[in-house]
Amino acid sequence: MNNSEAWSHYKDYVNDLNEFSRKLGFAGSAICWVLKDSNGNFPKYVLVALACFVFFFIADVLQKFIGALLHRWWIRKREVELWTEIQSIEGEYLKPGWLDKPPFTFFVLKIAFLLIAFVFLGVAVFLK
């Protein structure tokens, strides 16, 4: 397996995880609404789970937003540098590793929020 194949496998896993986690996030949020008590209020653990689902979706959006902003900034900067050097924006771009760290941080955070939310939902169901 070469480097591009390895990264291709990684991207497949990440894309699948993103897709499945969003579905789980929506399903978990719906479960929260089902677990309201007879007065229409959320039990404490369900409310915490719902907050975690909200943080999950915020982190999901921030992962893509921050990634897009950083990449646009870096690509535009590189284009200006290339234009100054060779009067063209076509050329090799050596992408620095730090460029993916902020989006990856939000990726990990969103998965953590999703897992924590389901733990709280499990506790809420168990205590019911």
The percentage of the chain sitting over the pLDDT mark of 70, rounded to a whole number, equals 100
Average of pLDDT values for 100-111?
95
pTM for this model (two decimals): 0.85
Q: Which residue's structure tokens are 């929260």?
A: 32
Can you give the pLDDT at residue 60?
Answer: 95
Query: Torsion angle, CA of 8/13/17/20, rounded to 10 degrees?
Result: 100
| Assigned token pair, 58 | 């915020």
The pLDDT of residue 75 is above 90: no
* Separation between Cα atoms, residue 29 and residue 58, nearest integer Å: 14
* Count: domains in the chain: 1
Domain that holds residue 9: 3-127
The percentage of the chain sitting over the pLDDT mark of 90, rounded to a whole number, equals 56
- In tens, the pLDDT along 7-57 reads 888 888 888 899 999 999 999 999 999 998 888 889 999 999 999 999 999
